[in-house]
Amino acid sequence: MTKLKAAGALIAGKTNCDEFAMGSSTEHSAYGRTLHPLDKTRVPGGSSGGSAALVAAGVVPAALGSETGGSVRQPASFCGIVGIKPTYARVSRYGLVAFGSSLDQIGVFGRSVHDAGRVLSAISGRDPKDATCEDRDPLRLPTVPESLQGFVIGVPREYFPADLDPGVRRACDRVIKILRELGAVVREVSLPHTASAVPCYYVIAPAEASSNLARYDGVRYGPRLDGGGGEADVRALYRATRGAGFGAEVRRRILVGTYVLSAGYYDAYYRKAQQVRALLAQDFRNVFDRGVDLLFTPTTPTPAFKAGEKLGDPVQMYLSDVFVCTANLTGLPAMSLPIGRVKGLPVGGQLIGRAFLEDEMLEAAYALERAVPSVEEV
Amino acid sequence: MTAPAGGGWETVIGLETHVQLRTASKMFCGCSTAFGAPPNTNVCPVCLGLPGALPAPNERALKLAVRTALALGCTVHPRSVFARKNYFYPDLPKGYQITQYEQPLATDGKLSYLSPDRGVATATIVRLHVEEDAGKSLHDRFPRATAVDLNRAGVPLIEIVTGADFRSPAEARWYLQTLKQVLEYSGVSDCDMEKGSLRVDANVSIRRAGESALGTKAEVKNINSFTYVEKALAAERDRQIAALEAGGTIAQQTMLYDAKENTVRPQRAKEESHDYRYFPEPDLPPLVLPPEWVPEQQAQLPELPATKRERFVAQYALSVQDAAVLTASRGVAEYYEGVVHAGAEPKPAANWVMGEVLADANDHQEQLRVPPGTLAQLIALVQGGTLSHQAAKRVFAELAVRGGGEPRTVAEALGVIQVGDTNVIGQWVDDVLQAHPAEVTRYKSGETKLMAFFVGQVMKASKGKADPKLAPRLLEERLRA
């Protein structure tokens, strides 16, 4: 915020999101759910759904969101706008309420690549208050390219499963055709550990969250419920305060996270998940090492779903993050941009780049933004 | 107090010592570490655990930790990892403590100390890691409520863990004393147990003498003062022996020491058996030491107490005991060498430092009030016969009050310069003999032990100024006549 204000930005306000950024639909908010700006019966995506909806509705030109597992790109895709998650450590996390500290990164929404890119450029760069933040100069925006001559774009087959929504598939196929027309080499590649990404994410993110959210214990923050044990029973106080204060989804993740870090389960879950995380990173390295500059995938398996549709089944909700959570687990920069409409609903395409090479990713995005008829049906 | 465990039992003790590093600011934020500030004034978003705040490591603390590891002969790992230790407690604002777990800063050190039972013994240092302190819960400040002071939250600590190396409570205390010396010498901590800058927890078990397997251990906490280390461990040892001899078993549990009652009691079950759910701290990258840190900190290490003690024995022909007293603190050792370098003979210098100097320091907040060069001059006056030892003590006391000065001038002002003139002393002798005719008669009839009486009288008459070697000689001459 300090950097944005210094760059001359006006702060319009705060936006709705899932409680502690946990959710994929902005339905888990104490303030109520956020509506999809094009179809009130649908969700805008989440967790940063409020920001996405406002930008899509034209209320603000750009907005910030927080990304732990796609919480900017997924709502950007649902709402038909641009959403960028920079490389981990590109933007300081100081001031961001932590969810999964090794995954969290501030992301940016904009109605155009340029709007989102400008905001990202303003907030990026070193910060001595965040020991994990890279000691790097702020991102410099590229110029809009004439063509994508010289770009090698990889299309990972694991991101195009048989049950992919047919409209999403048509939109992606059209982008691939346009990429070739723009002079890029498009090559099918493989990221073999992709199927393990969601389970891996739903071990690591809740584990870190269970620790990050421990401070909300009623001793220092918010309402305190003494649990009937009086002042003498601090455990009853914790139980009562935390039981009442956290919503159901947050409680679920705290419990999962506590479980996977427990003695006797740590090796089977948390350590295993860290190993899987390393394998996922290796998948991407292998592809980039073979000359691929960027990857292109759908951002989400379907367009925006109906409100309430997935509330009863958390696993279905989690699976809507399947294409986005790998970039958080590997720390790579990724963005979603609108690539067409299916029955009036926006579809998003995702670009994933090499670490700290956001400029290459934005260059391709500029070119696609000009060439893809993003508000037309496919 | 150091009685061996009775009935063929052997005591086995390992120690975990928490040491506050001597830094101006906290481990992960810029707050002051000053002791005694009003509650909750040395705090900021980071050490209060406010949402969105992040830790930034204190470079000075890390360097002091490296220095300590080197002083203890540890292997310093070029890469170590911070971890979160998760538990709920009101004085732990984040709900976790940042520490190191699977990959500590240093491992495999050792520290030699003098065991009262076994002579020179070696304690193994299993690991040394960096962490932050928790706040302080005050249970007795307000009725029916616990108050929390977070001034201490985030203060930099190192934890030094030994193997199960000690065979008696006394050995544990001697190790601690030695550790404290090394830490003070190295300048890494002020080691003030009363201010909490050195805290110790102990693992205690017993086994039949000759057995190699370890017995079930209990942890003893709440040992708040050096005086209590040995007592607390002895209390726990005695409890375990009594339990086993009564046919019972030892539970693996945490015992709290009560200094008032000199007993140990089990910590309430509610307070313990945490599953700390350690995992790597995602807010901090792995600690990769810049390669120059190790040589740089090695160069900062002074001559350590054991080496200095041995050198004093060899160089100044002192006894091991005297050398141990003189090297117990770095300040005293350097003072002693200052006296010697200013020209004093090593042995009398040692006696003066161990006697008058330490006694005076003891009464005056460990200040060494007489400059070493001044003490060397004073010693020279005694050696040269200008001052008696008694007179020199008076001069020393005066110099101490003044914080220095010219010893001869002070001695003159006090009128205690020794008189060596036989005519003057002869006059005092004559006066004494004249005043005590009865004693003279008894002496002459064989009661020679009265010589001491006469000498005393002469010294009294001279107000201590008569040369104590000349006075008896003149007395004998006169009495023989």
CA-to-CA separations, B208 to A35, A49, B9, B10, B239, in angstroms, rounded? 74, 68, 5, 6, 15
* The one-letter amino acid at B193: M
Q: Does A130 sit within 8 Å of B279, measured CB to CB? A: no
Tokens read off for B20? 């506050």
A62 touches A43 (CB < 8 A): no
pLDDT score recorded for residue B419: 81
Cα distance between residue A230 and residue A240, in whole Å = 12
Write phi, then psi, for A156 (nearest 5 degrees).
-75, 125
| Closest to A7 (Cα-Cα) out of A112, A118, A171, A108 | A118
**Helices B422-435 and B470-480, axial angle in degrees (round to 10):** 60
CA neighbours closer than 13 Å in the CB half-sphere of residue A167:
17
A352 touches A332 (CB < 8 A): yes
pLDDT digits (tens, 9 = 90+) for A66-108: 999 999 999 999 999 999 999 999 999 999 999 999 999 999 9
B210 at interface of A, judged by CB pairs closer than 8 A: no
What is the dihedral sign for C-alpha B385, B389, B391, B392?
A: positive
Q: Does A211 sit within 8 Å of B95, measured CB to CB? A: yes
pLDDT digits (tens, 9 = 90+) for B219-274: 998 787 778 899 999 999 999 999 999 999 888 888 999 888 899 988 865 555 67
Report, as an integer, the average pLDDT of A120-130: 96
pLDDT digits (tens, 9 = 90+) for B49-103: 999 999 999 999 999 999 999 999 999 999 999 999 999 999 999 999 999 999 9
DSSP assignment string, A213-275: GGG-SSSSSS----TTS-TT-HHHHHHHHHHHHS-HHHHHHHHHHHHHHSTTTTIIIIIHHHH
pLDDT score recorded for residue B33: 95
Report, as an integer, the average pLDDT of B400-414: 90
B262 at interface of A, judged by CB pairs closer than 8 A: no
B221: Cβ contacts below 8 Å, ≥ 6 apart = B201, B254, B255, B256, B257, B267
pLDDT score recorded for residue B480: 83
pLDDT score recorded for residue B385: 82
User: Minimal Cα–Cα distance from A223 to chain B, Å?
Assistant: 15
A320: Cβ contacts below 8 Å, ≥ 6 apart = A24, A74, A300, A301, A302, A305, A310
A102: three-class secondary structure by DSSP: coil
B405: Cβ contacts below 8 Å, ≥ 6 apart = B374, B398, B399
Q: For A261, which of B148, B279, B282 is closest by C-beta distance? A: B279
CATH class of B422-480: mainly alpha
B145 at interface of A, judged by CB pairs closer than 8 A: yes
Q: Does A129 sit within 8 Å of B56, measured CB to CB? A: yes
Whether A227 shows a pLDDT value over 80: the answer reads: no
Whether A221 shows a pLDDT value over 80: the answer reads: no
User: Minimal Cα–Cα distance from A217 to chain B, Å?
Assistant: 8
pLDDT score recorded for residue B6: 59
CA-to-CA separations, B211 to A46, B12, B172, B208, B218, in angstroms, rounded? 63, 11, 20, 6, 18
Cα distance between residue B415 and residue B426, in whole Å = 19
Strand (E) positions, B166-241?
198-208, 218-223
Report, as an integer, the average pLDDT of A48-65: 96
Q: Does B270 sit within 8 Å of A131, measured CB to CB? A: no
| Closest to B262 (Cα-Cα) out of B287, B311, B229, B295 | B229
Report, as an integer, the average pLDDT of B340-366: 94
pLDDT digits (tens, 9 = 90+) for A271-322: 999 999 999 999 999 999 999 999 999 999 999 999 999 888 888 888 888 9
B286 at interface of A, judged by CB pairs closer than 8 A: no
* Interface contacts A/B by beta carbons within 8 Å: 87
B6: three-class secondary structure by DSSP: coil
Q: For B284, which of A131, A217, A232 is closest by C-beta distance? A: A131
B140 at interface of A, judged by CB pairs closer than 8 A: no
Residue in B96, B132, B279, B281 to test binding to A, most A beta-carbons within 10 Å: B279
pLDDT score recorded for residue B348: 95
pLDDT score recorded for residue B3: 46
Work out the number of other CB atoms within 10 angstroms of the CB of residue B142: 10
DSSP assignment string, B89-112: -TT-TTSEEEEE-SS-SEEEEEEE
Taking CA–CA distances from B48, the nearest residue in chain A reads A220
Q: Does B52 sit within 8 Å of A97, measured CB to CB? A: yes
* Alpha-carbon torsion angle B178, B184, B186, B188, nearest 10: 120
Write phi, then psi, for A275 (nearest 5 degrees).
-65, -45
More confident residue, B442 or B270: B442
Q: pLDDT class for B2, splitting at 50, 70, 90?
A: very low
* The one-letter amino acid at B347: K
* The one-letter amino acid at B359: A
Mean of per-residue pLDDT scores for chain B = 91
Give residues 333 to 392 of B whose Cβ lies within 8 Å of A. none
A220 at interface of B, judged by CB pairs closer than 8 A: yes
Cα distance between residue A70 and residue A313, in whole Å = 19
Measure the N-to-C terminal CA separation of chain A; round to a whole number of Å: 39
pLDDT digits (tens, 9 = 90+) for A255-272: 999 999 998 999 999 999
* Burial tier of A328 (Cβ tally within 10 Å: 0-12, 13-18, 19+): buried
A204: three-class secondary structure by DSSP: helix
B180: three-class secondary structure by DSSP: helix
ipTM: 0.93
Q: pLDDT class for B420, splitting at 50, 70, 90?
A: confident
Cα distance between residue A320 and residue A329, in whole Å = 16
Write phi, then psi, for B160 (nearest 5 degrees).
-115, 115
B275 at interface of A, judged by CB pairs closer than 8 A: yes
Report, as an integer, the average pLDDT of A332-337: 98
Work out the number of other CB atoms within 10 angstroms of the CB of residue B426: 16
Q: For A214, which of B54, B56, B86 is closest by C-beta distance? A: B86
Q: Does A211 sit within 8 Å of B279, measured CB to CB? A: yes
Q: Does B282 sit within 8 Å of A100, measured CB to CB? A: yes
Residue in B31, B48, B54, B85 to test binding to A, most A beta-carbons within 10 Å: B54
DSSP assignment string, B17-77: EEEE---SB-SSSS-B--TTPPTT-S--TTTTT-TT------HHHHHHHHHHHHHTTPEEP
Cα distance between residue B257 and residue B266, in whole Å = 9
User: Minimal Cα–Cα distance from B37 to chain A, Å?
Assistant: 21
B30 at interface of A, judged by CB pairs closer than 8 A: no
User: Minimal Cα–Cα distance from B235 to chain A, Å?
Assistant: 30
Residue-range domain boundaries for chain B: 9-297, 303-414, 422-480
A335: Cβ contacts below 8 Å, ≥ 6 apart = A73, A76, A82, A83, A84, A85, A116, A350, A351, A361, A362, A365
Report, as an integer, the average pLDDT of A236-247: 90
Measured CA angle at A320 (ends A290, A371), to 5 deg: 55
User: Minimal Cα–Cα distance from A212 to chain B, Å?
Assistant: 8
Cα distance between residue B250 and residue B235, in whole Å = 14
Cα distance between residue A251 and residue A64, in whole Å = 26
Q: Does B52 sit within 8 Å of A238, measured CB to CB? A: no
Q: For B52, which of A96, A100, A211 is closest by C-beta distance? A: A96
β-pairing, B156-162 vs B145-149, is unpaired
pLDDT digits (tens, 9 = 90+) for B176-193: 999 999 999 999 998 888
* The one-letter amino acid at B383: Q
Work out the number of other CB atoms within 10 angstroms of the CB of residue A162: 5
Residue whose tokens read 């670490």: A355
User: Minimal Cα–Cα distance from B194 to chain A, Å?
Assistant: 28
Chain A CB contacts of B58 below 8 Å: none
Give residues 231 to 270 of A whose Cβ lies within 8 Å of B. 231-232, 234-235, 238, 258, 261-263, 266, 270
B214 touches B240 (CB < 8 A): no
* Burial tier of A232 (Cβ tally within 10 Å: 0-12, 13-18, 19+): exposed
pLDDT digits (tens, 9 = 90+) for B18-60: 999 999 999 999 999 999 899 999 999 999 999 999 999 999 9
B52 at interface of A, judged by CB pairs closer than 8 A: yes
pLDDT score recorded for residue A231: 60
Whether B1 shows a pLDDT value over 50: the answer reads: no
B203: three-class secondary structure by DSSP: strand
Q: Does A270 sit within 8 Å of B283, measured CB to CB? A: no
Q: Going edge to edge, which strands form the sheet with A62-67?
A: A62-67, A105-110, A82-85, A334-342, A345-352, A294-298, A152-156, A185-189
Q: Does A231 sit within 8 Å of B275, measured CB to CB? A: no
pLDDT digits (tens, 9 = 90+) for A146-160: 999 999 999 999 999
